[in-house]
Amino acid sequence: MTKEQLHSHLEDYEEEILLADGFEDAYMGIGRQFTKPPFAVYDRAKCIEILSSEMSEEEAEEYFQYNVEGAWVGENTPVFIEPLKLNKELEKLEDTKAYKLGFKNGLEEGFEDNPFEKDIERISYSKGYDEGVSEYSRWI
């Protein structure tokens, strides 16, 4: 996402939303808390990845912690989150009854009454089509 696209996205907000310069590609959206102003939300790992293009990963982590994550600029200071990784959730499912009933190999006998189908569907749709998800979600 470019700076222009990001600023265009934020035009609809009446409140000032502070952004972290240089981390446009790590921007995830807007966060809110009751009685507090909205704030920008960034993917922490993606921020480190962006910094790592100009320094070592260890230096990027240290720089990020001190200069970015550690900077307080008021109530609407941006937030840096560590999103849940979809592949880890899918790995957990591999040990479930759903997987053993044939989820890996498509619609097989017993799968249509799968008690875990809603969990699998929730993960597939709430997290998007990350690496490996299309293989799993095409059977839903």
> Would the pLDDT of 70 be above 50?
yes
CA nearest 57: which of 68, 48, 66?
Answer: 48
pLDDT score at 116: 53
Whether residue 100 sits in one domain with residue 58: no
Average pLDDT on 103-118 reads 51
What DSSP designation does 99 have?
Answer: I
Whether residue 130 sits in one domain with residue 65: no
Task: Indicate the helix (H) or strand (E) that contains 126.
Answer: helix 117-127
Give the tens place of pLDDT for each residue, 14-54: 888 999 999 999 999 999 999 989 999 999 999 999 999 99
How far is it, in rounded angstroms, from Cα 77 to Cα 40? 8
pLDDT score at 135: 44
Whether residue 8 sits in one domain with residue 51: yes
> Would the pLDDT of 2 be above 70?
yes
How far is it, in rounded angstroms, from Cα 34 to Cα 52? 35
**What domain range is 62 assigned to?**
3-81
pLDDT score at 120: 55
pLDDT score at 132: 45
Whether residue 77 sits in one domain with residue 92: no
